[in-house]
């Protein structure tokens, strides 16, 4: 049976795909990143803050616009950037690994996040700064590492994992923006009046406790000195010794009359 032109063309495509897959799997050959990332110089950060080469948002372009608007507003307000990269399938790498590598390339200063979403597996990777600043006294990243981890955790917990892929990634991006904006508001706002009052009361209580501790220690010291055995010594008196008394003595003498005899 002869194969038509379409069948031959389809077979050629399958053969090329198999060759590419083998090249990825052989150690030392191929790249560990997708083809667009393996090019010389690497890709530039997308101006729209969203890289969607596969047309993931083609069915819902409004979602893409909403995400881009929110991340740009956040960047304008606080200088913090959030990028989104959507890929249907990742070969030779994972979403977390790719997100970390893109973060190092697009955000070398660490002031931002890179979210990678693999639509086929619904895998999400979030690249964030994990390095401590070289100069501890200098200005660090806009958001500390532990605060970044907490806001990512809170954002993930607030999303329904059963949402459709388009709704899921939009909800994740908007929650990340919301949590990040909330951190900057808490950092820049003054502490509430109730908090200041609690801190003042805590300071007064600490001082009172220290005073009571000092009084208790003073009482213990005084009580311990009273229980000790006290000894007394007679003072040295410069007087001559008399009658064997080293400090002198006084002598009292009495005379008695002789007994009288009666004559019989």
Strand partners, 197: none
Q: Which of 22-31, 51-60, 177-186 has the highest mean pLDDT?
A: 177-186
Q: Which residue has the higher pLDDT, 62 or 241?
A: 62
Among the ranges given (19-23, 112-116, 120-124, 181-185), the one the predictor scored with the smallest mean pLDDT: 19-23
Supply 198's token pair: 């609690």
pLDDT at 30 over 50: no
Average the pLDDT over 102-110 and give the result. 89
Percentage with pLDDT > 90 across the chain = 41
Q: Which residue has the tokens 């069948």?
A: 7
Q: What is the mean pLDDT of the chain?
A: 77
Report the C-alpha gap between 176 and 183 in whole angstroms. 11
Average pLDDT of 191-216? 79
User: Mean of the pLDDT values across residues 156-182?
Assistant: 94
What is the predicted pLDDT for the residue at 222?
74
The whole-number pLDDT of residue 10 equals 44
pLDDT score, position 81: 95
SS3 of 18, please? helix
Mind listing the pLDDT tens digit for each residue in 200-212?
788 888 889 888 8
Predicted local distance difference test score (pLDDT) of residue 187: 87
Looking from the CA of 85 toward its CB, the CA atoms found within 13 Å total 28
The pLDDT confidence band at residue 229, using thresholds 50, 70 and 90, is: low
β-sheet bridge partners, residue 83: 114
The encoded tokens of residue 101 equal 């590598």
Q: Where do we find the tokens 């954002």?
A: 155
Res. 261: pLDDT tops 70:
no
Alpha carbon distance 178, 153 (integer Å): 13
Q: What are phi and psi of 84, to 5 degrees?
A: -125, 130
- pLDDT reported for residue 248: 58
Reported as a pLDDT band with limits 50, 70 and 90, residue 251 is low
- Model confidence band, residue 119 (pLDDT cutoffs 50, 70, 90): very high
The highest-confidence range among 126-135, 154-163, 190-199, by mean pLDDT, is 154-163
Specify which residues 116 forms β-bridges with: 85, 125
Highest mean pLDDT: which of 9-13, 132-136, 171-175?
171-175
Query: What's the average model confidence in pLDDT over 42-58?
Result: 87
Q: Where are the alpha helices (DSSP H) in the chain?
A: 5-25, 35-38, 61-78, 95-106, 145-157, 165-188, 193-226
Residue for token pair 């200088």: 79
pLDDT value for 157: 94
The C-alpha angle with vertex 217 and arms to 216 and 218, in degrees rounded to 5, equals: 90
Structure tokens at 39: 């090019």
Contacts by 58-65, CB closer than 8 A, 24 or more apart: 59/166, 60/166, 63/166, 63/167, 63/170
Q: What average pLDDT score do residues 153-170 get?
A: 93
Report the DSSP pairing between strands 50-51 and 81-87: parallel
Percent of the chain at pLDDT above 70? 64
Model confidence, pTM: 0.59
DSSP-assigned beta bridge partners for residue 242: 245
d(CA 152, CA 12): 45
């Amino acid at each position: 049976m002869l194969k038509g032109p379409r069948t031959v063309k389809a077979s050629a495509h399958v053969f090329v795909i198999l060759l590419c897959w083998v090249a990825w799997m052989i150690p030392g050959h191929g790249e560990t990143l997708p083809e667009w990332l393996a090019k010389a110089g690497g890709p530039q950060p997308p101006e729209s803050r969203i890289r969607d080469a596969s047309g993931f948002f083609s069915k819902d372009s409004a979602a893409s616009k909403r995400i881009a608007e929110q991340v740009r507003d956040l960047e304008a307000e606080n200088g913090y950037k959030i990028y989104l990269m959507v890929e249907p399938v990742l070969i030779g790498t994972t979403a977390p690994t790719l997100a970390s590598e893109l973060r190092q390339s697009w955000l070398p200063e660490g002031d931002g996040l890179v979210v990678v979403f693999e639509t086929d597996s619904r895998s999400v990777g979030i690249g964030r700064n994990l390095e401590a600043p070289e100069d501890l006294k200098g200005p660090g990243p806009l958001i500390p590492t532990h605060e970044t981890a907490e806001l990512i955790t809170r954002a993930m917990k607030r999303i329904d994992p059963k949402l459709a892929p388009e709704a899921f990634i939009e909800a994740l991006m908007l929650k990340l923006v919301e949590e990040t904006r909330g951190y900057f508001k808490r950092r820049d706002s003054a502490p509430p009046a109730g908090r200041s009052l609690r801190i003042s009361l805590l300071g007064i209580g600490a001082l009172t406790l220290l005073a009571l501790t000092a009084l208790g220690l003073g009482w213990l010291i005084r009580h311990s000195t009273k229980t000790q055995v006290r000894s007394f010594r007679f003072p040295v008196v410069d007087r001559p010794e008399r009658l064997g008394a080293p400090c002198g003595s006084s002598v009292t003498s009495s005379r008695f009359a002789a007994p009288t005899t009666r004559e019989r």
